[in-house]
Amino acid sequence: MKHYLLTIAAIFVGSLIVFIFRPSNQKNLKLLLAFSGAFLLAITVFDLLPEVFEDNHFGKQTGIWIMVGILLQKILEYFSKGAEHGHIHLDKDTKQLPKLLFISLGIHALLEGFPIHQAEGILLGIIVHKIPVAMILTTFLLHTKIKPVTIGITLFVFALMTPLGTFLSEHLEIVQGYYKEITALVIGIFLHVSTTILFESSEGHKFNITKLMIILLATVTAFLI
Please give the Cα distance from 173 to 28 (Å, whole number): 43
Residue 137: pLDDT band (50, 70, 90) is: confident
Decide: 38 and 218 in contact? Cβ < 8 Å.
yes
Please give the Cα distance from 58 to 197 (Å, whole number): 30
Please give the Cα distance from 77 to 91 (Å, whole number): 17
Q: pLDDT tens across 14-69, in order?
A: 999 998 887 766 778 888 888 999 999 999 999 899 888 888 878 889 999 999 99
Q: At 172, is the secondary structure helix, strand, or coil?
A: coil
- Is the predicted pLDDT of residue 197 greater than 80, yes or no? yes
Q: pLDDT tens across 84-100, in order?
A: 666 666 566 777 877 88
Please give the Cα distance from 189 to 201 (Å, whole number): 18
**For residues 57-89, b (16+ Cβ closer than 10 Å) or e, as one string?**
eeeeebeebbeebbebbeebbebbbbbbbbebe
- CB-based contacts of 75, cutoff 8 Å, min separation 6: none
- CB-based contacts of 158, cutoff 8 Å, min separation 6: 11, 102, 105, 106, 109, 137
Q: State the average pLDDT over residues 104-126.
A: 86
